[in-house]
Structure 1
């Protein structure tokens, strides 16, 4: 089942949304900071986006849907570089001060003004095809684990491994271009527990005690992330008796999965009986989140939202959330878009910057940026989870 209803405000957000809701929780600046001078955090983020420009330019140059793509890609690189440098000189320019949402939105705006709608389309299609070919093997490996707790942990580790396919990260994009990425190898290279913040045991305990009525999963990257990470986990929730809503972006952004793409992939993975590897999918719903940026993830139960740049969701999502007993959100790295300077630390660092929070809701965080990972582990990026039963 899928949904493409009219857009309405999420009913659990305190109104008026404009004055009561803050999308970013990263401490980019404080009241005492000079409004005309970029803070160290703002400069770090601006540099992160500057470092991503070559990989975006390369993708844009080969976009077959845009005439003179190579010329327009150069214009994009120059124009976006100028804007980022202007943010450094005057953080209040271009609607600032800058945060991750604004930096993403300006980048997408420049691309779209030049006619680039989906510069990652080719690589998304290629990675989706590869992941689809591995789906049966990955599900069979998980199903072969008889111990429920170990199977659940393996599914969570698969989510982390899948999220390495994040081409918004300049360093990850470089590694992907040079060496490719193997889902199974990524699973093996994740460090052992405990992670920096690790509530997986609490989640296992809850899993064994109850079956939730509904879960909403806001999906992230195409390829291994959604197909080999999220979908096996969603399938396990379906087996557990939970109705699962997969919410995907409305418009393309980086290599994120879009709603039409997700509908097509689910259709390809179902068998002739409409099942997902033997599991009934009548309780699997696909919804349009209404988002057009890679920064929109949230953690909710009652209402706690983080890294979310949209306030309008489909009416279907709103109604589903209003009657929810569990809102499961998997936050997989789009509060950040790069592994900043530290790719040499290896894949093990990635899992060290992972966060799981469980209070009748699950948040998995796979930091692609060392600055954010460090701030999170030090408690400098605030999080809270509220239960609503």
Structure 2
């Protein structure tokens, strides 16, 4: 499906009038704050984005699809740094006051204006190829777990382990550049439960008693995240009779998987019968969310996703950007799950947890 130009509200979201929905989870400022002076929280988050500039500049410099990439990469770094410093001095400059959506959008706008379409394309392709080669082994390991509850926990741990592949985190980008990351080792080395938000036991109980008809999954990163984390989980839902819609970004942003990339990944993983290692995929759909950022405002999604989601009874927002930094407190008309790893110290501090802690937030809607 190709995205439509007109965007609409996500139909399962409880409307702003009813729930006072705002996409961003962490309030950078309050009404009593001076509108002309940056708050300590704003400064902290602006500094986080400033710290990521060198890794973005490095990726842009090596983008072979852009002409004069090194010079344009330097221009990006200068321009984005100047804008962030402007916002420190005057929060209302550049469309502020700032939040995570605005700071991400400004970064993407500058890159695109300079001719950079997808500076993470090379590393995404490499990681997708690696993860595809490991997919069968990961699926077999999970299928071998006979106890349904233990298999579910293994699949959930796989989502967290895959979600580590996040090049939007300056610290993780540096680790990845030096050493790469092992998916199975990451599964074993997750922070111990209880996690900072841990509704896994409740979800496991519902999983054993309940079968959802249609699940919408907002997916996050390329590589291990989508292929070794989300797809084995989605495959399990398919096996249970749930129709699964994977909603991916319209345009590239950091190392997030895009709609065209996800279509290609699924085609490579299917066998000649159109199955994912023995599980039929006729109930697996891929949708273009219409989004172009690593975070998402559910007041604005593509029309085709809205159409597909109109009868969903489970919504899953995966990843720190979509499920924690935005939409952690979003309320839905159906059951919802927010799942992701905490990869910024600022997010850990806000939640009262640890860096690389896990969020598994499940809300069940009980029909009257």
8 Å Cα contact 2:16/2:22 also seen in 1: no
Residue matched to 1:262: 262
The Cα shift of 1:27 comes to 1.4
Q: Which runs of 5+ in 1 are unaligned?
A: 297-308, 339-353
Greater RCO (CA < 8 Å, at least 6 residues apart): 2
Task: Give the aligned partner of residue 126 of structure 2.
Answer: 126
| 1:385 shift after superposition | 4.7
What is the Cα deviation at residue 131 of structure 1? 0.3
**Distance in 2 between the 1:51 and 1:138 partners?**
35
Deviation at 1:273, TM superposition (A): 0.2
Of stretches 172-181 and 4-13 in structure 1, the one that deviates more from structure 2 is 4-13
Compute the displacement of 1:199 (Å). 0.9
CA distance in 1, matches of 2:349, 2:34: 25
Q: What is the alpha-carbon distance in structure 1 between the residues aligned to residue 54 and residue 172 of structure 2?
A: 13
1:167 and 1:27 map into 2 onto residues whose CA distance is: 24
Q: 2:314 matched to which residue of 1?
A: 326
Q: 2:357 maps to which residue?
A: none
Match of 1:173 in 2: 173
Shift of 1:388: 6.1
Distance 1:144 1:256, change over 3 A: same
How do 1:143-182 and structure 2 match up within 5 A? 143-182=143-182
Deviations 1:40-80 (A, max 9, x none): 11011100000000000000001011111001100100111
Give the corresponding residue for 1:303.
none
CA distance in 2 between counterparts of 1:27 and 1:282 reads 42
Q: 1:335 to 1:83 in 2, by over 3 A?
A: farther
- 1:337 is displaced (CA, Å) by 11
Query: Hey, what's the Cα distance between the residues in 1 that align with 2:32 and 2:93?
Result: 19
2:362 is equivalent to residue 387 of structure 1:
no
The 2-side partners of 1:387 and 1:310 are apart by 19
Q: Flag the 1:180–1:233 CA change in 2: closer, same or farther, 3 A.
A: same
Alignment RMSD, CA only?
2.5
Alpha-carbon shift at residue 369 of structure 1 (Å): 1.1
Aligned to 2:244: 244
Residue by residue over 1:313-345, the C-alpha shift from the partner in whole angstroms, topping out at 9 and shown as x without a partner, is 233321222212222x1331115999xxxxxxx
Residue 5 and residue 44 in structure 1: after superposition, are their counterparts in 2 closer, same or farther (change >3 A)? closer
Contact 1:87 1:96 in 2 (8 A): yes
Is this contact kept in 2: 1:36–1:92, CA < 8 A? Answer: yes
- For the 8 Å contact 2:12–2:312, the answer to whether it is kept is no
Q: Partner of 1:113 in structure 2? A: 113
Tell me which of 338, 349, 355 is aligned to 1:374. 349
Shift of residue 374, structure 1, vs aligned partner: 2.3
TM-score by length of 1: 0.85
The answer to whether 1:316 aligns with 2:294 is no
- How far apart, CA to CA, are the structure 2 residues paired with 1:11 and 1:140? 36
Say whether the 8 Å CA contact 2:319–2:339 is kept in structure 1.
yes
Partner residue of 2:358?
none
**Structure 1 CA distance for aligned equivalents of residues 301 and 142 of structure 2:** 33
Structure-2 separation of matches of 1:24 and 1:371:
14
CA distance in 2, matches of 1:106, 1:315: 25
> Could you tell me how far apart the structure 1 residues matched to 2:210 and 2:366 are?
15
**Structure 2 contact 323–338 (Cα < 8 Å) conserved:** no
In the other structure, the counterpart of 2:89 is 89
* Displacement over 3 Å in runs of 4+: 5-8, 11-17, 335-338, 383-386
1-structure distance, mates of 2:84, 2:11: 35
> 1:265-317, CA deviations, whole angstroms, 9 ceiling, x for partnerless residues?
00000000000010000000000000011111xxxxxxxxxxxx353323332
1:20 to 1:147, Cα distance in 2 relative to 1, 3 A = closer
Residue 363, structure 1, aligned to residue 351, structure 2: no
Per the TM alignment, residue 101 of structure 1 is displaced from its structure 2 partner at its CA by 0.6
Displacement of 1:12: 4.3
In structure 2, how many angstroms separate the alpha carbons of the residues matched to 1:384 and 1:91?
Answer: 35
| Rounded Cα–Cα distance in structure 1 between residues aligned with 2:120 and 2:246 | 21
Aligned partner of 1:62 in structure 2 is 62
